[in-house]
Amino acid sequence: MKFGTTITAIDAHAGGEPGRVIIGGVIDVPGDSMLAKRDHLAREGDQLRKLMLREPRGYPATCCNLVLPPTIPQADAGFVIMEQAEYPGMSGSNTICTATVLIAERLVSVTEPVTDLVLEAPAGLIRVRAVVRNGVARSITFENVPAFAVHLDAPVEVPDIGTVNVDVAWGGMFFAIVEAAALGLALTPDEGRDIVRIGEMVKAAAREQIPVAHPLMPGLGGISIAELTAPPTVPGVDGRNTVVVSSGTLDWARPASFTGVLDRSPCGTGTCARMAVEHARGRLAIGQDFVHEGILGTTWTGRLLREASVGPYRAVVPQLTGRAWITGRTEFVVDPDDPFPEGFTLGDLWGIEPS
């Protein structure tokens, strides 16, 4: 993989969740699929993720997407998702940001009032329908990869908390889903610090005690995120949630390492995972809308399109509708004398030791 002298990125947010989209400056990433390209970046090119997400160019809540030529003929573009602690197979907010940027920058064929395109994510092909007006994507609807529940009400022993029942489901990554009330939380913004700490503890315990892997893509395995749920606060909404995105490696011997950031949006893959659980419990029918509220009160609308199967699991194909707004355009450079070519983290914000 080679870098140009300048990395061009468009910043956007989807429902409040920031998603940076790299559209120039990365010459090539080896791999015969987007999953293989993701794996190559993780092994050989992780400096790009660190450069774009760590300070002084990034921030703990920032995500980043690298736009690449697709490896599958029917796809219009490919993208690799980079977050603070991992390379997810799929992300809803990042898909919405990436599609919005591709349309705004005319990197795909654009028609009004509707533009259809196919994106290749590491987890598979994502079909997108955008409502476009005056060259701007006003809404993004995408058909996600099949989602499925793996465990319902699985008991997990969490140190200092006790036994917690979690649902484990795949919506593009694996989620441990738990009711906030069972943890003494109401999912209000002022609880942010406690939600992060407790959510990370639940995630770490669930990851240790409930090993999972995608049956068709074993490289996409392990519980990545804790999703906390609660009743909605907005009329016409079906549920409320927030998910905790890790900002570093968790270490039970070092409690300060249990830190992360809240997804500012209603979380696309988390919504898909929750819809799979609701369907498995018989509470959400095919074709029924599911309006999901995030920690900021923003909402996205999900729907289960049809049933499917993934290996041994009964699955559903979810659809999600949301919107992103472009916030800026930046040309990033790395001076040869810059002492932080891969950025840095400090414990005041990141909760992990400086690196």
Q: Which of 91, 224, 246, 265 is catalytic?
A: 91
pLDDT digits (tens, 9 = 90+) for 172-195: 999 999 999 999 999 999 999 899
Q: Which is nearest to 259 in space by CA: 305, 203, 337, 326?
A: 203
Backbone angles phi, psi at 86, to 5 degrees: -165, 175
Of 18-32, 93-107, 211-225, 336-350, least confident by mean pLDDT is 336-350
Res. 1: pLDDT tops 70:
no
Q: Would you state the structure tokens that stand for residue 55, as one six-digit string? A: 């300070």
Res. 225: pLDDT tops 50:
yes
Decide whether 2-143+325-331 matches 147-319 in CATH topology.
Answer: yes
Q: Are 315 and 276 in contact (CB under 8 A)?
A: yes
Does residue 91 carry a catalytic annotation?
A: yes
Q: What is the DSSP string of 19-43?
A: EEEEEEEEEE---SSHHHHHHHHHH
Pick the CATH number of 2-143+325-331 from 3.40.50.720, 3.10.310.10, 3.40.50.300, 1.10.3720.10: 3.10.310.10
Question: With pLDDT > 90 as the criterion, what percentage of the chain qualifies?
Answer: 83
Backbone angles phi, psi at 45, to 5 degrees: -130, 30
Q: Around 332, how many Cα atoms within 13 Å sit in the side-chain half-sphere?
A: 27
Residue 317: the pLDDT is 98
Res. 252: pLDDT tops 70:
no
Return mean pLDDT, the chain.
Answer: 92
What size, in residues, is the chain? 355
- 230: confidence class by pLDDT, cuts 50, 70, 90: very high
Question: What CATH number does the domain located at 147-319 have?
Answer: 3.10.310.10
Res. 3: pLDDT tops 80:
no
Spatial distance between the Cα atoms of 75 and 58, rounded to a whole number of angstroms: 29
Res. 334: pLDDT tops 90:
no
Q: Which is nearest to 175 in space by CA: 208, 209, 145, 150?
A: 150
Of 39-53, 212-226, 240-254, least confident by mean pLDDT is 240-254
Res. 338: pLDDT tops 60:
yes
Spatial distance between the Cα atoms of 294 and 22, rounded to a whole number of angstroms: 26
Model pTM?
0.93
Task: Kindly list the domain boundaries of the chain, sorted by start residue.
Answer: 2-143+325-331, 147-319
Query: Residues of 317-330 as b/e, b for ≥16 C-beta within 10 angstroms?
Result: bbbbbbbbebeeee
